[in-house]
């Protein structure tokens, strides 16, 4: 068993949906799904799930990611090509610089998306920076932060990538409004049962500087939400 190398960066992981992910050239890139056996597809899905949980690696480009995955494979097969401990410090510095550059770019893009969302007809911007746009009016009483709601939703990154969707799963979800990200707590209190809305949430009302799983650091998030009921 290869022990973790002291000084190397550790990656965060969180629950992620099983869906398509781009494979590495070192493994099955270029192989069509139709050519894979059922067992191979299951193993591919396992790899996709692991990859989606390692959202920190999204700061790397294709060739850089291939090199990282080669290191993963060689560590798993006890076939490291050199003494990696000697590069622990430089690896941590390089990875940190990549993350900072990616976060800076994400923040810049997010500002543009928030401005565009605020300019949409019918959209309102709250004092916190949340952009709320009613898509379909509901009726009744809006929930409070201490209540539990049942909702359908789809969450997207600014590039259109869907990172979570109860709609795709075909199952509404229930949760207390004081146990979710700030943008959700605020936005859902602006809705009424039966209503639908688009929430464009700045990073400081979402997952902030750290990100989580498939969500990068400083990411502005876009949610389509249907408030089914207040429990």
161, 184 Cβ separation under 8 angstroms: no
CA distance 26 to 76: 15
- Between the CA of residue 2 and those of 47, 66, 71, 82, what are the distances in Å? 20, 20, 12, 13
Query: Which residue is catalytic, options 132, 153, 201, 215?
Result: 153
> Is-catalytic flag, 163?
yes
Which position has the token pair 């139709």? 34
> Is-catalytic flag, 223?
yes
> Is-catalytic flag, 224?
no
> Is-catalytic flag, 87?
no
CA distance 121 to 8: 48
> Is-catalytic flag, 44?
no
Query: Which residue is catalytic, options 44, 95, 132, 223?
Result: 223
Query: Which residue is catalytic, options 132, 163, 215, 222?
Result: 163
Query: Which residue is catalytic, options 181, 204, 224, 228?
Result: 181
Query: Which residue is catalytic, options 131, 132, 207, 222?
Result: 207
CA distance 204 to 219: 9
Query: Which residue is catalytic, options 95, 113, 131, 164?
Result: 164
Q: End-to-end distance of the chain based on CA atoms, in angstroms?
A: 49
> Is-catalytic flag, 164?
yes
Active site residues: 153, 163-164, 181, 207, 223
């Amino acid at each position: 068993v290869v022990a973790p190398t002291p000084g190397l960066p550790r990656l965060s992981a969180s629950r992620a949906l099983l869906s398509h992910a781009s494979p590495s050239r070192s493994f099955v890139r270029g192989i069509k799904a139709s050519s894979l056996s059922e067992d191979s597809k299951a193993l591919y899905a396992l790899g996709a799930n692991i990859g989606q949980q390692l959202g920190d690696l999204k700061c790397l480009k294709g060739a850089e990611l291939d090199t990282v995955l080669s290191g993963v494979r060689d560590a798993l097969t006890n076939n490291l090509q050199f003494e990696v401990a000697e590069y622990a410090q430089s690896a941590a510095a390089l990875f940190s610089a990549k993350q900072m550059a990616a976060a800076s770019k994400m923040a810049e893009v997010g500002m543009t998306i928030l401005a565009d969302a605020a300019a949409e007809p019918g959209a309102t911007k709250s004092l916190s920076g949340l952009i709320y746009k009613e898509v379909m009016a509901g009726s009744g009483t809006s929930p409070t932060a201490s209540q539990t709601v049942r909702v359908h939703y789809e969450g997207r990154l600014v590039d259109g990538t869907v990172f979570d969707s109860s709609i795709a799963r075909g199952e509404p979800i229930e949760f207390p409004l004081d146990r979710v990200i700030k943008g959700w707590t605020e936005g859902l209190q602006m809705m009424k049962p039966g209503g639908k809305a688009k929430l464009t949430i700045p990073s400081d009302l979402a997952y902030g500087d750290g990100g989580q799983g498939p969500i990068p650091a400083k990411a502005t998030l876009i949610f389509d939400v249907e408030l089914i009921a207040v429990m």
